Amino acid sequence: MLKQPHTKYRPFPAPALPDRAWPSKVIERAPVWLSTDLRDGNQALFEPMNAERKLAMFQTLVRIGLKEIEVAFPSASQTDFDFVRQLIEERLIPADVTIGVLTQAREHLIRRTMESLRGARRAIVHVYNATARPWREQVFGLSRDEVKRMAVEAVTLVRQLAAEQPATEWVLEYSPETFSQTEPEFALEVCNAVIAAWEPTPAAPVIVNLPATVEAATPNVYADQVEWLHRRLDRRDSVVLSVHPHNDRGTAVAAAELAVLAGADRVEGCLFGNGERTGNVDLVTLALNLYTQGVDPGLDFSDINAVARTVEHCTQLPIHPRHPYVGDLVFTAFSGSHQDAIKKGLAARRDGDIWDVPYLPIDPADLGRSYESIIRVNSQSGKGGIAYLLESHYGLVMPRRLQVEFSGVVQRHTDASGGEMSADALWRLFSREYLEAQAPLRLHGHHLDEDGEAQRIELVVERGGHSQRLEGAGNGPIAAATDALGLPLKVLSYEERSLGHGADARAVAFVEIAFDGVDGAVYGVGLSANIVTASLQALIGAANRAQARIASAQACTTAAA
């Protein structure tokens, strides 16, 4: 790369528009959408779609709610020509959907294009020619007047051929290709010449489409260009002003949004941003950005995963896991603080509330995605995500300090094994750590007697393969069992909850103890149909885990010596 890039590149000039109005506007309704998945998207694939894929894509676009679909470049390939014929002849186009086709502004291509549309109920004929200086001078060697004449002659020919097929309702779309790199005055001159040649009316408007064929400037510059033209176009009430942003600078979505503020009525793009080079603007992101502002986009992504799978099948390209709204990882929080905030936000929600959950700009359920996928656990995760998964999958509500303790267990496990932990794997780890902590003491049974205020307990335990009976007394089963165990421990806290509902419900008990020789508190957990049994298991489990810690500390000291 150059140390002085200005010797090779120059900033893109914006039109003079000091009184621009778009910055203080708000998008209050969705633009008209046009999908060009089957044309711009298709022509950018390693392997363009075959007939089966084209039809699957068309049907998906219809299901989503697209009313304008550019289906082909019929003069460029037989597959495309045949696809248009198939849609028309097999009557596959719903009454409220208009198909469009693209053609260069050249006579034989226009004739072939018009032929492909024979018998269509309504059709958009999209004519384009490049207008920017590098194309005029380097690619075609044409003057401005010649470029303008080319556009006018093409439109005049479409008009004439359209008159020969009066049963079809014809809509002209004209694109000054490379608009965003064209001198604004010249783009205006060509567009106004096209408008004059077509003679649109408010009832039968022309579509003037302004492509950022190559995205060349910041989105505000594109917005200025669009507003500049929007204010000056002839017969503005007979023009549907359309934009067609590509994503070379990675800002196509912003460019489209600002262009709508600047006066665009219509946006052309592809699902998930497929298209030439870095792609066309992503219609899904645009639509869902509107949705999250409370504006109905008129497109339905309530099963976004199904749409994604069809698009991947048709394009043979994967969708990035972090792609907005659809990527596999976009509703996944690995970081502990994010998980904690999401968990609290979801818990605080009541039916009918405005969506206000931290870190989630949209309710995943609105897109047919489940909350289960929101939280995943790896070595970066904290107690929040772990607690959420165990609660949502197993109904286990852990006391807060146990969440902290268990997250340390998970951390050691993920540090050692790497990778991510599913809810099932977390439960197995939890069971091994707490429910199966049955050595050196295993509880086999107990007998409890009331003795006035006190309770007497007899514990049947197994220690080193031998059964033993231990007796103790206290003001409750846990105090009595602590007495019976005769270990240097003190119970710090006790909680019990139920796990599951109805006849299958079981009690889960959590006992937190301090144990001589062990730093900090230690938890034990018991799970049983009987609440006293669960409590005793939890107490003994805590004692076992404390002794295991002492043993492992001693083993480390011996090894170090």
Q: Which is nearer to Zn ion, 242 or 547 (CB)?
A: 242
In 249-333, DSSP assigns E strands to 266-269
391: its two tokens: 């609660």
Rounded CA separation 103/80 (Å) = 12
Of 515, 512, 516, 514, which Cα lies nearest the Cα of 525?
512
Q: Which is nearer to Zn ion, 64 or 210 (CB)?
A: 210
37 interacts with ligand KIV by CB under 6 A? no
Q: Which is nearer to ligand KIV, 114 or 252 (CB)?
A: 252
In the complex, the smallest distance separating the C-beta of residue 244 from Zn ion, rounded to whole angstroms, is 6
In the complex, the smallest distance separating the C-beta of residue 281 from ligand KIV, rounded to whole angstroms, is 10
Contacts with ligand KIV in 117-146 (CB under 6 A)?
128
Query: Could you give phi then psi for residue 24, rounded to 5 degrees?
Result: -100, 15
Q: Which is nearer to ligand KIV, 175 or 544 (CB)?
A: 175
Candidate list 20, 230, 246, 369; residue touching ligand KIV; CB under 6 A: 246
Q: With CB under 6 A as the rule, give the number of residues binding ligand KIV.
A: 10
In the complex, the smallest distance separating the C-beta of residue 175 from ligand KIV, rounded to whole angstroms, is 4
Q: Which is nearer to ligand KIV, 178 or 535 (CB)?
A: 178
224 interacts with Zn ion by CB under 5 A? no
Contacts with ligand KIV in 226-245 (CB under 6 A)?
244
What letter represents residue 261's amino acid? L
Residue 177 near which of Zn ion, ligand KIV, none (CB within 5-8 Å, type-dependent):
ligand KIV
Query: Is-contact 239 233, C-beta < 8 A?
Result: yes
165: its two tokens: 């097929």
Beta strands at 506-515 and 522-528: parallel, antiparallel or unpaired: antiparallel
440: its two tokens: 């050196």
Q: Which is nearer to ligand KIV, 209 or 537 (CB)?
A: 209
Phi-psi map region of 419: left, alpha, beta (phi>0 left; psi -120 to 50 alpha): left
Binding piece for Zn ion, criterion CB under 5 A, among 32-40, 70-78, 191-199, 510-518: 32-40
Rounded CA separation 509/536 (Å) = 9
Phi-psi map region of 530: left, alpha, beta (phi>0 left; psi -120 to 50 alpha): beta
Q: Which is nearer to ligand KIV, 81 or 128 (CB)?
A: 128
In the complex, the smallest distance separating the C-beta of residue 433 from ligand KIV, rounded to whole angstroms, is 58
Residue 131 near which of ligand KIV, Zn ion, none (CB within 5-8 Å, type-dependent):
none
In the complex, the smallest distance separating the C-beta of residue 501 from ligand KIV, rounded to whole angstroms, is 58
In the complex, the smallest distance separating the C-beta of residue 13 from ligand KIV, rounded to whole angstroms, is 20
170: its two tokens: 């014809």
Residue 434 near which of ligand KIV, Zn ion, none (CB within 5-8 Å, type-dependent):
none
Other CB atoms within 10 A of residue 420 CB: 13
In the complex, the smallest distance separating the C-beta of residue 175 from Zn ion, rounded to whole angstroms, is 8
Residue 205 near which of ligand KIV, Zn ion, none (CB within 5-8 Å, type-dependent):
none
Q: Give, as one character, the DSSP assignment of residue 38.
A: I
In the complex, the smallest distance separating the C-beta of residue 369 from ligand KIV, rounded to whole angstroms, is 32
337: its two tokens: 């603080």
In the complex, the smallest distance separating the C-beta of residue 113 from ligand KIV, rounded to whole angstroms, is 13
Q: Which is nearer to Zn ion, 40 or 282 (CB)?
A: 40
Residue 175 near which of Zn ion, ligand KIV, none (CB within 5-8 Å, type-dependent):
ligand KIV
Give every CB contact of residue 144 below 8 A, 6+ residues apart in sequence: 136, 186, 189
Query: Is-contact 403 367, C-beta < 8 A?
Result: no
70 interacts with ligand KIV by CB under 6 A? no
Rounded CA separation 357/301 (Å) = 20
Treating both helix axes as pointing N-terminal to C-terminal, what angle do 107-116 and 78-89 enclose, rounded to 10 degrees? 30
In the complex, the smallest distance separating the C-beta of residue 307 from ligand KIV, rounded to whole angstroms, is 22
Using alpha carbons only, what angle is made at residue 158 by residues 155 and 160, rounded to the nearest 5 degrees?
Answer: 110
Query: Is-contact 118 164, C-beta < 8 A?
Result: no
Contacts with ligand KIV in 171-230 (CB under 6 A)?
175, 177, 209, 211, 213
Treating both helix axes as pointing N-terminal to C-terminal, what angle do 184-198 and 144-163 enclose, rounded to 10 degrees? 20
Q: Which is nearer to ligand KIV, 106 or 456 (CB)?
A: 106
Q: Which is nearer to Zn ion, 40 or 405 (CB)?
A: 40
Name residue 511's beta-bridge partners. 494, 524
Residue 53 near which of Zn ion, ligand KIV, none (CB within 5-8 Å, type-dependent):
none
Q: With CB under 5 A as the rule, give the number of residues binding Zn ion.
A: 1
52: its two tokens: 């089966």
Rounded CA separation 38/56 (Å) = 10
Contacts with Zn ion in 36-75 (CB under 5 A)?
40
Of 351, 345, 350, 353, which Cα lies nearest the Cα of 371?
345
In the complex, the smallest distance separating the C-beta of residue 36 from Zn ion, rounded to whole angstroms, is 7
In the complex, the smallest distance separating the C-beta of residue 214 from ligand KIV, rounded to whole angstroms, is 8
CA 433 and chain centroid, separation: 36
Q: Name the residue number minimizing CB distance to Zn ion.
A: 40
Q: Under the rule (CB under 5 A), what is the footprint of Zn ion?
A: 40
Q: Under the rule (CB under 6 A), what is the footprint of ligand KIV?
A: 40, 102, 128, 175, 177, 209, 211, 213, 244, 246
